[in-house]
Chains A and B, each alone.
Chain A
Amino acid sequence: MPKITYISHEGKKNIVEVPKGLSVMEGALQNNIEGIDADCGGSMACATCHVYISENWFNKLEKIHDAENDMLDMAYEPKKNSRLSCQIIVTDDLDGLEVTTPIKQS
């Protein structure tokens, strides 16, 4: 099973196995990872599952859609490497992916 590393804004690492086909957001909720709220439940309507992706991983992810970018405008302190974790689907290729959660989600 692919391993995903969730890093808190303070640098605390949580490495968990997330089944293929789930989103990085769902992986966080199932493992009680703090820092991802996911208020809308994954309908890309709230920007509270916002994460930062390290540079080496950012370009390996599927390209960001306009609708996700529009939603990221609403996120708390979005940066160039921001993504919504509900839109990143875990595959074997993402084994080892590291995502960092922001100071807060709203």
Chain B
Amino acid sequence: MITTDVIIIGAGPVGLFAVHQLGIKGLKAEVIDNLDKAGGQCIELYPEKPIYDIPAVPECTGKELTENLLKQISPFKTNFHYNERVEEVIQDKDNWIVKTNRSKKFIAPNIIIAGGVGSFEPRKLPLKEAEKYEETSVFYSVTNKKFFENKNISIFGGGDSALDWTLELSKFSKITLIHRRNEFRGAPHTLSEIKKLEKKGKIIIKTPCQLDKIEGDRNIKSISVKFDDGKIEKIKTDTILSFFGLVMKLGPIAEWGLSMDKKTILVNTNNFQTNKAGIFAVGDICTYPGKLKLILSGFHEVALAPVECFKRAKPNETYRFEFTTSSKTIHERLGLEKKNV
């Protein structure tokens, strides 16, 4: 069991800045995220897209924003628990116990939910039969490259992941790349490499078409694709890799007894606490009159929530509001050298 002042669920920009706002108040946090890295939607959905409405930052990408936030919170030496999804939240007197899908346990008087729209999961193939072959012949990511050697692989998708894995796996497997339209979206270099391989007959590209049927028994034997003109073609396939991006699922959050409005959690705007004392919601996942789903709104929300977190974590101490420009205590917490203060 890991004991801390605040458990933060979600390592997106708002969850990361929560670490900062807690840290300067002297509160310790542990951060849990279902993804394998920090950044949330910024990293998964638009790492290279510029954002123009972060105050005093005229332009930055989702990736840059994440990197800068990580730098900003580095003095607090926070533990991040990636690839962990919070499954259960249980009350234990004045504390909350949080359990993840990998059986990690945390206890703290406060939980800050900065969960965006929920956790990311790969978007599945629309065909029902695909489910049956999941993890045996149908995959949504490549974790062990060796498994994909000497196979007949049909790769679905038109973006970077589909193109990159087509290039990589074509070194030792027969690849058919299948996409719903003729245009692919990828780095120019990758696209030209793909064209070269196709010319040499190393890979086969089928467009514009979509998966129509999967045939097999215990394993897949072949698939059929349907072209836009209605023509159907059978392709010898034993393995399917599908890259249709990620979807966001609210998941277990809906079952924690919090007051919700559709997929968002109701909070008060004094301290962004939910209907449960000690559980706070901030960022895209919270709602209140006038709520805007902006990163900058999330930053405001995590500036306020820690005040209440402080009172719950340190009931015998008096909370004092301080500025980062002048507070010696904050400077110490930020690890600034004495001579600079």
- Report the minimal beta-carbon distance from A41 to chain B, rounded to whole angstroms: 5
Decide: A45 and B180 in contact? CB cutoff 8 A: no
Partner of A45, one of B45, B181, B185: B45
In angstroms, Cα B284 to Cα A74, docked, is: 22
Q: Mark B151-195, 1 if CB is under 8 A from A, else 0.
A: 000000111000000000000000000011101010000000000
In angstroms, Cα B117 to Cα A41, docked, is: 10
Known A-B contacts A46-B247, A46-B248, A78-B180; A73 and B45 likewise in contact (beta carbons under 8 Å): no
Decide: B228 and A80 in contact? CB cutoff 8 A: yes
Known A-B contacts A41-B293, A73-B157, A74-B245; A46 and B45 likewise in contact (beta carbons under 8 Å): yes
Contact residues, B100-132 vs A (CB, 8 A) = 117, 123, 126
Decide: B245 and A69 in contact? CB cutoff 8 A: no
Partner of B247, one of A69, A77, A80, A106: A106
Contact residues, A38-72 vs B (CB, 8 A) = 39-41, 43, 45-48, 66, 69-70
> Interface size on A (CB < 8 Å)?
18
- For residue B162, which residue of chain A has the nearest CB? A73
- Report the minimal beta-carbon distance from B127 to chain A, rounded to whole angstroms: 10
- Report the minimal beta-carbon distance from B212 to chain A, rounded to whole angstroms: 12
Partner of B41, one of A40, A73, A78: A40
Give chain B's interface secondary structure class: loop
Contact residues, B3-48 vs A (CB, 8 A) = 41, 45-46
Contact residues, A1-27 vs B (CB, 8 A) = none
Partner of B284, one of A41, A47, A73, A76: A41
In angstroms, Cα B290 to Cα A78, docked, is: 34
Partner of B180, one of A41, A43, A47, A73: A73
Partner of B244, one of A40, A48, A73, A80: A73
Question: Cβ of A48: which chain B residues have Cβ within 8 Å of it?
Answer: 247
In angstroms, Cα B180 to Cα A47, docked, is: 15
Question: Cβ of B244: which chain A residues have Cβ within 8 Å of it?
Answer: 73-74
Decide: A73 and B158 in contact? CB cutoff 8 A: yes
In angstroms, Cα B121 to Cα A39, docked, is: 13
Question: Cβ of B284: which chain A residues have Cβ within 8 Å of it?
Answer: 41
Partner of B181, one of A40, A73, A76: A73
- For residue B159, which residue of chain A has the nearest CB? A73
In angstroms, Cα B117 to Cα A90, docked, is: 26
Partner of B126, one of A43, A47, A77: A77
Contact residues, B242-280 vs A (CB, 8 A) = 244-245, 247-249, 263
Question: Cβ of B210: which chain A residues have Cβ within 8 Å of it?
Answer: 77
In angstroms, Cα B148 to Cα A47, docked, is: 29
- Report the minimal beta-carbon distance from A73 to chain B, rounded to whole angstroms: 5
Known A-B contacts A73-B244, A76-B126; A43 and B159 likewise in contact (beta carbons under 8 Å): no
- For residue A82, which residue of chain B has the nearest CB? B180
In angstroms, Cα B244 to Cα A70, docked, is: 10
Contact residues, A73-106 vs B (CB, 8 A) = 73-74, 76-78, 80, 106
Decide: B159 and A70 in contact? CB cutoff 8 A: yes
Decide: A45 and B41 in contact? CB cutoff 8 A: yes
Decide: B247 and A40 in contact? CB cutoff 8 A: no
Decide: A45 and B46 in contact? CB cutoff 8 A: yes
List 5 tightest A-B contacts by C-beta distance, closest first.
A106-B247, A74-B245, A45-B45, A70-B185, A41-B293
Residues of chain A whose beta carbon lies under 8 Å from any beta carbon of chain B: 39-41, 43, 45-48, 66, 69-70, 73-74, 76-78, 80, 106
Between A and B, 16 residue pairs with Cβ closer than 8 Å are A39-B248, A39-B263, A40-B45, A41-B284, A45-B45, A46-B45, A69-B183, A70-B159, A73-B157, A73-B158, A73-B159, A73-B244, A74-B123, A74-B245, A76-B123, A106-B248
